[in-house]
Structure 1
Amino acid sequence: MASTQDGAGDHPKRPIRIAGASGGFSDRQRAIRDLAALDIDVIVGDWLSECTMTLHGAQKVDNERLRAEGKLMEEPVGLFDPTFMDNLSPALPDIARKGIKVAVNAGASDTRLLASLVEQEVKRSGLALKVAYVEGDEVTDTVNRLIKAGEPFPSLMTGENLKNWGYTPVYAQCYLGGAGIAEALSNGADIVVCGRVADAAPAVGAGMWWHGWDREKDFDQVAGSLICGHLVECAAYVTGGYFSGFKRLMEGCENLGFPIAELHHDGSCVITKEEGTGGEVSVGTVASQLLYEIQGPLYYGSDVTAKLEGISMKQIGPDRVQVTGVKGLPPPSTTKVGLTAVGGYQAEFHVYICGLDLEAKAEWIERQIRYSAGEAAKELSCFKFSMNGYCPDNARNQDLATVDLRIFVQTKNKKLVSKSTLDVPGFNRWCMDNGLQGCPGWTLGNDQRQSEGKIYYEYYVTVLPQDQVQHRVTLTWDANRAINVLPCQNMANYLRDQPSYETQAPINLSTYEPTTRGPLGWIVGGRSGDKASDANVGFYVRNDDEWDWLRSLLTIDKIKNLLDEEYKGGKIERFEIPGIRAVVHFLLRDHLDRGFNSTSTYDTLGKNVGEYLRSKWVNIPNKFLHRGRF
């Protein structure tokens, strides 16, 4: 049970127990209720992503415009996570009775409103919990002012300046750290509602408050809390979700446990999970989550920079992994900021083809549709044909032999993707007109709603000086007293590109013969993710003697070769973490066709980059293969 003391540093030096209750809006809703019944000190949760930030921000701009024009007929739904209140409410009695603290970023673009709803629910429940909220992440006015002053705002993905983007930002939201959360908890808050604090920031703030670290110099400890927060920020990702060894976790996969971190005073932590639940906490699952969405050997937060290359993980018991060796550096002088712009309209049409000669059938359809589009195709910013799936030899059923040919378009001309009735000129007709001169088996998809244009948004990631951010905490029970949170005074400047290197003294791969040709993923685990249009992917092995083979095999050129047609010529950066299942990590610059809200690909979040690469064939040493496959 949590201590009833409020002041930072007043707690006993035992570790703080932090439970990760959410990794996003698609997580299970039982989390806060069930975790509040356990012996924990703080519940943290991450409900935001670049997708939700973009959509909430764009809708907030629309609401403000309609309100100014007198066209907003009723008060809009709050632009915060719509599931949060249903998640929190059942847990409030246990939270109050046991003195558990809560820190979440579910406020999105309406943090103050969500905090007021939490406060109302607390009062309705007859409880005495204190609610605070953290603001300062919305920086649209600041960004516009700096643009007018000549700030170039180079893209973190491409390095090009904002003026070359081609879109006009309508909303800007930056990433805050955990210092504001620590301030709120130190002043007595029980529930802290935030907007866009970084995913790991609630755990950082909880650690600062509990252990009383000096944010100006205790960088190793704060960096440890940053990595701890990163490990639990995506809930079951660290207990078996997205894990390459998932097949052995089938028993109980319906209810993977939510994670619990024991964060020690020195910044080390132990990751465990709810008892009696599915999944596992192993070096494999923890290493897999560590690799998610990292960018290189340095992991940046607004409070600290963590060095990843020296991290060590050790299995110290069933479902207990100890994480040590995190070193800290001063935080960057900037913080990441995402700019949202209206991109235009997008639509898609699906034709199903089957059986033999699929490539030729796809070419037939593409040539006909491009001919039908004619000069109007010049008004499309994206006109893409992709054949998705394949027909295996002697397929056991017709659905398995059927392939989806997806035609995807984006344009600023809404008329080209207007309502998909059969008599409206435009995208739908270009596709539909060719049905009766189609290739053998041409079959119409039965949901034509997708060929009607929907608005989409472009997202641009850059950095903003931390001294331009008005980080602020409001204590609602104390006459809405506001506390300004200043940046750390000991910050540093970092280059956009992190250190990248090939392995030292690689082993001649011929020494590992005899080998068998097969998928890399037979013996190599992996994990990938996105940061706007960048994709990261990390690989690891299960046994120490496989490390030399992995690091020698996976060079930058080898990754380019394995990517095959997916490699578009972008820069690839590489580094290693030898102490954690022998990790080799790659950052694929500008690999994902922009980001979630505007991409033309199926892999909207980069999560399948790693699975694609694990499916590619390499020469696998027989002595490793004999140990069994993932």
Structure 2
Amino acid sequence: MPSAKRAIRIAGSSGGFSDRQRAIGDLAKNCDIDCIIGDWLSECTMTLHGAQKKQNERLLNEGQLTEQPQGLFDPTFMENLSPALPYLKSKNIKVAVNAGASDTEMLAGLVEAEIKAQGLDLKVGWINGDEVTETVRRMYENGEEFTSLMTGKPLKEWGHMEYFEAAQCYLGGAGIAEALRQGCDIVVAGRVADAAPTIGASMWWHGWDRETDLDQLAGSLVCGHLIECSSYVCGGYFSGFKRLMDKCENIGFPIAEVEADGSCVITKEPGTGGEVSVGTVSSQLLYEIQGPLYYGSDVTANLEGIVMTQLGPDRVQVTGVKGLPAPATTKVGLTAFGGYQAEFHYYICGLDLEEKAEWTERQVRHSIGDAVKDLSCLKFSLNGYCPPNPRNQDVATVDMRVFVQTRRRELVDKSTLDVPGFNRWCMENFLQSCPGATLGNDQRQSEGKPFYEYYVTLLPQSEVKHRVELPWAGKTIDIPVQKNVTTAYPRDQKSYDPVEPADLSSFGPTTRGPLGWVVGGRSGDKASDANVGFWVRHDDEWEWLRSVLTIDKVSQMLEGSNKGKRIERFEIPGVRAVHFLLRDHLDRGFNSTSEYDTLGKNLCEYLRAKYVDIPNKFLRRGRI
């Protein structure tokens, strides 16, 4: 264990498989850091990897695959890591990542092979235990209800267990900490929680006790959440993006300085665009949280007391996080084959768009006829509008989308000329269509593709076999569940409207305009739940914001996008933020949703565009 006299400097290199490949190499070469972490996984990628792995196993057993299939982990990870290896060695920088997905051992082997090919001496370990398919199957068959975290209904009502493919649970950072204690230079994990690499690195560096140092662990959990999405905390997806146009082509990656007390300072890679400010850090804090308690397998963090302080350019201190015992359960995601889905797009132009959309929908439904009984989802949506006196034809054109899902592949697996089939049902109405309707010249979206259903529930940590694998030492180390856990946290967290709200008339004259003129925010998804948080820049704006944004007000602002489900609310005064959780808002979540906003990321910007009465004195300060 290194000296704990100073903070550990941890760089965030990836927020997903789509992130920039330069990250690990540039951070290792150019930055003064102790550890590089990265998150390559999501509910989408884990679902696809897990399902494909089970399919590959079946094909191998049936003799339909003649060779071992390609590993089901991030295919670009080695391109990211390989250039960094000499710098990791020369500068003694550790790496802890979750890029292993569903084939962690195989990826760890590839890392070892690349290290050997470069003639380096770096020790690689990997984390085992997140794959729990047979555990879930056994417990379900023995009567375990496995209540959905989204809907509150038991697993038996899901309707997809017949097609159950895989289950992966979320592990904490204790295994990563142990691997580093054992001398690993690079730790490869699968489905550890997004913040787990930061927790593990901090726990190792500072020598924290998982049973007693709860505030410290909770601070590192929040820090891990802040840097897990790489450039998001440095100005990516930021409400104040307009002032960051300079160097927006290359927003930097974050660096966190985690102190021995669990507090941290967020800064970033030098010489890059973006910024680290209370606004950007608050935005990332609000991303994909569920309520005032943020759960991890190592600890639970209470978010309500967080305070952020701008120490200087690109330096924000985060304090006030309090730790509670970890839950005795961990989140687990179940994947099942859902069927096949397809979509067809008409482009409609000009006047009378609602009537034109109705005309089109009635014609397509007539063509579908009795086959509608075989469609598990049929959705028509008109997206966009034609402005008055449009400046060109493109802005006067909107998208009408027809979306279907079915288990009968033949209904959507047809070419343009095949009869019957989804494409034909839509295509054959073209010469009977409304005026101003046309078709795109690429019909590939109307061909069926597989989709998967995803179900999120809880699994007792005692059922998880969390292990550290050390191939170079020829040993395996078990990571037991800590003694200091809470048996059960309630599914529904504390939710409340403002206590003693301000008299809105006290803020003076107002102008009606978009909420986003003075309010920033961020939104995201957790399976089918959507979250959205809003923040403001000044204390008097905070009193106004918390008084305006009640549960009823947000419900009204949603208008036609309101699904009528439960909305929960809480406040974080230290960052002048109010947060909402919209239960089961996203139609089953990314892997099977019929929504345009598959990840809930656009919910915030929709609500920021809604009109409210804004005090004029706030507007005089300038818009976000």
Residue aligning to 2:391:
396
Q: Does 2:112 correspond to 1:119?
A: yes
Measure how far apart 1:433 and its partner are: 1.2
Which of 304, 310, 316 aligns to 2:305? It is 310
Partner residue of 1:22? 14
Equivalent position SS for 2:485: coil
Matched, 1:163 2:156: yes
Say if 1:41 and 1:101, in contact at 8 Å, map to a contact too.
yes
8 Å contact 2:293–2:493 — kept in the other structure? yes
Pairing 1:237–2:232 present: yes
The residue correspondences of 1:289-308 to structure 2 (distance < 5 A) are 289-308=284-303
Give 1:456's match in structure 2, choosing from 429, 451, 459.
451
State how far apart, in whole Å, the 2-side matches of 1:14 and 1:511 are: 48
- In the other structure, the counterpart of 1:57 is 50
Is 1:619 equivalent to 2:613 in the alignment? yes
Counterpart Cα distance in 2 of 1:361 and 1:575:
42
Question: What does 1:160-199 align with in structure 2 at a 5 Å threshold?
Answer: 160-168=153-161, 169-199=164-194
**2: CA distance between counterparts of 1:502 and 1:516?**
25
Equivalent-residue separation in structure 1 for 2:507 and 2:11 (angstroms): 44
Find out whether 1:335 has 2:330 as its counterpart.
yes
Match of 2:550 in 1: 555
Q: CA deviation at 1:392?
A: 0.8
2:85 — aligned with what?
A: 92
Match for residue 598 of structure 1 among 579, 592, 604 = 592
2: distance between equivalents of 1:558 and 1:488? 42
User: Shift in Å at residue 569 of structure 1?
Assistant: 1.1
Q: Which whole-Å CA distance do the structure 2 matches of 1:432 and 1:101 have between them?
A: 56
Alignment deviations for residues 281-312 of structure 1 (CA, whole Å, 9 cap, x no partner): 00000000000000000000000000000000
Deviations 1:331-387 (A, max 9, x none): 000000000000000000111110000000000000010011111011111100011
In the alignment, the residues of structure 2 paired with residue 307 and residue 593 of structure 1 have an alpha-carbon distance, to the nearest angstrom, of 29
Cα distance, 1:12 vs structure 2: 3.3
Contact 1:346 1:410 in 2 (8 A): yes
* Rounded Cα–Cα distance in structure 2 between residues aligned with 1:307 and 1:510: 33
- Structure 1 residues 365 and 412, CA gap change in structure 2 (3 angstroms): same
- Which residue is equivalent to 1:102? 95
Q: For 1:198-237, list aligned pairs within 5 A.
A: 198-237=193-232
Counterpart CA distance in 1 for 2:516 and 2:119 is 54
CA deviation after TM superposition for structure 1 residue 415, in Å: 1.2
Counterpart amino acid of residue 88 in structure 2: I
**Does 1:502 find its partner at 2:494?**
no
TM-score (normalizing by structure 1): 0.98
Q: Please identify, of 11-20 and 529-538, the stretch whose mean Cα deviation from structure 2 is larger.
A: 11-20
Match of 2:485 in 1: 491
TM-score by length of 2: 0.99
Counterpart residue identity of residue 391, structure 2: R
Question: Equivalents in 1 of 2:96, 2:187: separation in Å?
Answer: 5
Q: Does 1:588 align with 2:578?
A: no
In the TM superposition, structure 1's runs of 4+ consecutive aligned residues that sit over 2 Å from their partners are 510-513
Instruction: Output the amino acid matched with 1:97.
Output: S
Give the counterpart letter for 1:629 in structure 2.
Answer: R
- Tell me if structure 1 keeps the 8 A contact 2:414–2:421: no
**What pairs up with 1:421-432 in 2 under 5 angstroms?**
421-432=416-427
1:198-232: CA deviation from partner (whole Å, max 9, x where unpaired):
00000000011000001001000000000011100
The aligned residue for residue 339 of structure 2 is 344
Q: What letter matches 1:553 in structure 2? A: V
Unaligned runs of 5+ in 1: 1-6
In the alignment, the residues of structure 2 paired with residue 146 and residue 75 of structure 1 have an alpha-carbon distance, to the nearest angstrom, of 31
Write the mapping of 1:244-393 to structure 2, written as runs, cut at 5 A.
Answer: 244-393=239-388
Q: Partners in 2 of 1:487 and 1:237 — Cα distance?
A: 32
1:325 CA drift (Å): 0.5
Secondary structure, counterpart of 1:457 in structure 2? strand
Deviations 1:432-460 (CA, angstroms, capped at 9, x unpaired): 11111110022112111111110000000
For 1:372 and 1:508, the matched residues in 2 are separated by 56
Equivalent position of 1:74 in the other structure: 67
Please state if 1:628 is matched with 2:622: yes
Matches within 5 A, 1:518-533: 518-533=513-528
Task: Give the match for residue 540 of structure 1.
Answer: 535
**Distance apart, 1:75 and its partner CA:** 2.2
- Please tell me whether the aligned partners of residues 418 and 424 of structure 1 are also in contact (alpha carbons under 8 angstroms): no
Matched, 1:31 2:23: yes
Q: Which moved more, 1:361-370 or 1:413-422?
A: 413-422
SS in structure 1 of the partner of residue 327 of structure 2:
coil
CA–CA separation in structure 2 for the residues paired with 1:11 and 1:20: 22
State the AA in 2 paired with 1:82.
Answer: P
SS at match of 2:57: helix
By how many angstroms is 1:509 displaced? Answer: 1.4
- Cα shift at 1:508: 1.8
Q: Following TM superposition, by how much is the alpha carbon of 1:238 offset from its aligned partner in structure 2, in angstroms? A: 0.2
Q: Is the 8 Å Cα contact of residues 4 and 260 (structure 2) preserved in structure 1?
A: no
Helix, strand or coil at the partner of 1:629: coil
Residue 126 of structure 2 is matched in structure 1 by: 133
Tell me which of 442, 455, 473 is aligned to 1:447. Answer: 442
Hey, what's the Cα distance between the residues in 1 that align with 2:86 and 2:359? 64
Residue identity matched to 1:612:
Y
Structure 2 alignment gaps of length 5 or more: none
- Does structure 2 conserve the Cα–Cα contact (< 8 Å) formed by 1:154 and 1:161? yes
Match of residue 4 from structure 1: none
SS at match of 1:166: coil
Deviation at 1:428, TM superposition (A): 1.1
Which is worse superposed, 504-513 or 209-218?
504-513
Secondary structure of the residue aligned to 1:579 is helix
* Letter paired with 1:118: V
Counterpart amino acid of 2:408? N
Query: 1:222, 1:464 → 2: CA distance?
Result: 22
Cα deviation 1:23-72 (Å, max 9, x = unaligned): 00111010000110211000000000000000000100100000000001
CA RMSD after TM alignment: 0.7
- Matched pairs, number: 620
| Whole-angstrom CA distance in 2 between matches of 1:312 and 1:83 | 37
Q: Secondary structure at the match of 1:428?
A: helix
Query: What amino acid maps onto 1:261 in structure 2?
Result: A
